[in-house]
Structure 1
Amino acid sequence: MSPIEAIASWLEAQGADLQIEIAGLATFFIFADNNVLTFGDSDVLTLGRPELLHSLQRWLNEPDLASCTAAERALTFRVSFEHFAESRFTDAGWKRTEELVRKTLEEAKRDQKFAAAHKAQNMLKSLSDRKKYWYEAGKSWKELAATYLTVDALAKWADSEAQGA
C-alpha cells in the first residue's frame, strides 16, 4: 500500500463528522496556496465542510500519480494535518478549545448573536464525545505516521516504485 493510500484508508476509517473536521484542519495549508479553496474570516466554530472533505479525497485519490508526487502529497498531508491537529491529541489542547468556545459563547450572548451562541452551546455539549473520537484517531494516526509516513518509509516506497516502473 502506498503512503497516500494509507492516509486515504485511515481517513475513510474515521467517522463522518471526524472526517469533515480532519479535512477542515488538513486542507488549510494544502489548498490555501493553490487558491483551490478560499478561507474567509477565521471562525473557531467551523469544524469543516463537506466540500473540503471531497476536495481532500480527490487530492488523495488522484489516479496515476507519479511516485514522487504521491510521496510529496503524503508528506504534505502529514505536516499540514499534524500542525493543526496536534492540539486535538492532548488534554491541554482540549482545555484551550473549551476555553475558546466558552469565550465565544459569552461574546455571542453579550452581542445577542443567537445562532452563534446556539452553535457554541452545542459544541460544548459535544466536546467530550469529540475529545474521545480525536484521542482514538490520534492513536491510529501516530501508528500510521510511524510506519508509512516517516522520511525513510517514504523514500523507500518512492525508490521501490521507481525501480518497478
Structure 2
Amino acid sequence: MSPLKAITSWLETLDLDMQLEVAGFAAFLMFERDDVLTLGGSEQLEALHQWLNEPGLPSYVAADRALSFRICFGCFVDDRMTDAGCKRTEELVCKILKEAKRGGKFAASRKAQRMLALLPARKESWERVVRSWNELTATCLTNEAVRSWSAASKRIGLKVIPSSGVPIVPLRSPHRGTG
C-alpha cells in the first residue's frame, strides 16, 4: 500500500468531526493556495482528499507528500496533546463564550457552552486519534518504509492508482508478463 493510501485509509477511520479538524489543520499548514484557506470544513476535507489521492503521481512526489503530511500533522498532534495545548483550547473557548455573551450572540454562546462541556470527551477522542496515528507512523510512514516504497516503485516504473493504492506497470515495461 502506498504511504498516501495509508494516510487516506487512516483518515477515513476517523469520525467526520475529526476528519474535518485534521483537514482544517492540513489546509492551514500544507496548502500553498490561498483559496483553500477560505474554504469551509467540508471543502477543506475534499481538498485534502484530492491532494492525497491525485492520480498518476510519480513515486517521489507521493513519498514527499506522505512525509510532509507526517511532519505537519505530527507537530499538530504534539501540540494538541500537551497540557498547554489543552489549556489554550479551553481558554480560547472561554474567550469565545465571554465575547458571545457580551455581544448578545445567543447561538454562538450556546455553541461555545456546548464546546466547553464537550472538551473532556474531545480530549479523549484526540487521545484515540493520536494512538492510531502513532501506530500508522510507526509502521507505514517511517522514513525507511516510505523510502523503500518509493525505491521499489522507481525500480519498476510504477505510478500509484489512489483508489486502490496499487501500483500499475506502464505498457512498455520490461516487467510485464508475456501471457
- TM norm structure 1: 0.85
Q: List alignment gaps of at least 5 residues for structure 2.
A: 158-179
Query: What's 1:164 paired with?
Result: 156
User: Quick check: which has more Rg, 1 or 2?
Assistant: 2
Write out per-residue CA displacement over residues 106-155 of structure 1, whole angstroms, 9 at most, x where no aligned residue.
Answer: 12212323332222112112212211111001011011112222222222
1-structure distance, mates of 2:49, 2:87: 30
The 3 A distance-change label for structure 1 pair 36 and 82 is farther
2-structure distance, mates of 1:143, 1:116: 37
Q: Does 1:115 align with 2:107?
A: yes
Query: What's 2:43 paired with?
Result: 51
Matching of residues 58-137 of structure 1 within 5 Å = 58-137=50-129
Name the one with the larger helix percent: 1
Deviating runs (4+, > 3 A) in structure 1?
none
Amino acid at match of 2:147: A
Would the aligned equivalents of 2:27 and 2:37 in 1 still touch at CA under 8 Å?
no
1-structure distance, mates of 2:70, 2:28: 12
**CA drift at 1:57:** 0.9
Query: What's 2:29 paired with?
Result: 29
1-structure distance, mates of 2:153, 2:47: 26
**CA drift at 1:36:** 4.3
Would the aligned equivalents of 1:67 and 1:158 in 2 still touch at CA under 8 Å?
yes
Would the aligned equivalents of 1:25 and 1:85 in 2 still touch at CA under 8 Å?
no
Matching of residues 9-20 of structure 1 within 5 Å = 9-20=9-20
Q: Which range moves more in the overlay, 133-142 or 105-114?
A: 105-114
Would the aligned equivalents of 1:148 and 1:154 in 2 still touch at CA under 8 Å?
yes
2-structure distance, mates of 1:55, 1:114: 32
2-structure distance, mates of 1:86, 1:57: 23
2:126 is paired with a residue of what secondary structure? Answer: helix
Identical pairs, percent: 50
2-structure distance, mates of 1:36, 1:14: 25
2-structure distance, mates of 1:38, 1:50: 12
**CA drift at 1:16:** 1.2
Q: Which range moves more in the overlay, 12-21 or 89-98?
A: 89-98
